Structure 1
Amino acid sequence: MARTEYYDDPDAPEPNSLVVAASAVVADGQGRILLQRRRDNGLWALPGGGMDMAESLPGAAVREVKEETGLDVEITGLVGTYTDPKHVIAYTDGEVRRQFNVCFTARVTGGRLAISDESAELRFVAREDLEALPMHHTQRLRLRHFLDGRAEPYLG
């Protein structure tokens, strides 16, 4: 299923769902950040997705990283909360969501990189190479907040 992301677009469709989601910034020992190129829109993004009813948000982040990348992680901190009502995601099945995302930091504890049905490509990316990748600006915002080394999480 394909998706289109809108931001502050008067022509964006009206949301018909609100989804609670978690994502994770997973950095390796060299400070490179794990990113996936999504199959549904071709853009690079942090691993993440919707929370299931029977799990916590940190648990959702751990599960999504495993499902999308093959890596086992543990949560180590919080980058921030991302709830901008101007960000709308439309899917080809008719769902138009507004997403409430909590972005965590995490470290690898096991597993091995493996492409999933959601990821077309996986890569640990050096800080200086991030700008060259096609990415929605809401993902860049999370990365910037992580890379800034903020003392407090972003609340937005």
Structure 2
Amino acid sequence: MHSVSVSGVILDGHGRALLIQRRDIGRWEAPGGVLERDEDIISGLLREVREETGLDVTPQAMTGVYKNMTRGIIALVFRCEAVGGQLSVNDEACAFRWATADEVRDLAAEAYAVRVLDAIQPLSSPAVRAHDGVRIIIGDCAPFPR
């Protein structure tokens, strides 16, 4: 079986993206999560971002499709703009950080950093990539952006 997740890469207008530090595993990544069975994609994106950050966002573009080959999770990632709310720690996120592309590369595992980097550096069409949960699988997708 496969599941579908959504993530929102929130940009601040200064080339930085919002990362959350997940409370459960301590990893830095863009906010997001698995869609509920009866939930449409955009509603799920808005819900997940709100739950994990306290922010309301407007999606601007889908920037990539990513498949975790190990776990069978397909992630749809969207570049977003914050339009309301307030950052607040919660059950899922214990910290927040506005990060440049270089900081994203240092903080996040490659498989999760690439999602943010693809959103920061807009491509002419959404990226389509595969990973093993940690690293991008070269040969099935474009190389990790530097």
Corresponding residue number in structure 2 for 1:8: none
Following superposition, the deviation at residue 49 of structure 1 comes to: 0.2
1:18 counterpart = 2:2 = yes
1:114 counterpart = 2:98 = no
Unaligned runs of 5+ in 1: 1-16, 89-96
Counterpart of 2:43, as a letter, is G
**Distance change >3 Å, CA 63–CA 80, structure 1 → 2:** same
Following superposition, the deviation at residue 142 of structure 1 comes to: 1.0
**Distance change >3 Å, CA 144–CA 126, structure 1 → 2:** closer
Counterpart of 1:103, as a letter, is V
Map residues 1-156 of structure 1 onto 2, 5 A cutoff: 17-85=1-69, 88=70, 97-133=71-107, 135-156=108-129
Following superposition, the deviation at residue 127 of structure 1 comes to: 2.7
Structure showing greater radius of gyration is 1
Following superposition, the deviation at residue 99 of structure 1 comes to: 0.8
**Superposition TM-score, scaled by structure 2 size:** 0.81
- Tell me, what secondary structure is at the counterpart of 1:65? helix
Following superposition, the deviation at residue 147 of structure 1 comes to: 2.9
Distance in 2 between residues matched to 1:144 and 1:28, nearest whole Å: 14
Following superposition, the deviation at residue 149 of structure 1 comes to: 1.9
Following superposition, the deviation at residue 84 of structure 1 comes to: 4.1
**Distance change >3 Å, CA 39–CA 29, structure 1 → 2:** same
Counterpart of 1:60, as a letter, is G
- Tell me, what secondary structure is at the counterpart of 2:72? strand
- Aligned-pair identity (%): 32
Contact 1:32–1:124 (Cα < 8 Å) also in 2: yes
In the TM superposition, what whole-angstrom CA distance separates every residue of 1:36-65 from its partner, at most 9, and x where no partner exists?
A: 011121110110001012221122111111
- Tell me, what secondary structure is at the counterpart of 1:31? coil
Contact 1:33–1:124 (Cα < 8 Å) also in 2: yes
Higher relative contact order (CA 8 A, sep 6+): 1
Distance in 1 between residues matched to 2:104 and 2:39, nearest whole Å: 31
**Superposition TM-score, scaled by structure 1 size:** 0.76
Counterpart of 1:78, as a letter, is M
Distance in 2 between residues matched to 1:29 and 1:126, nearest whole Å: 11
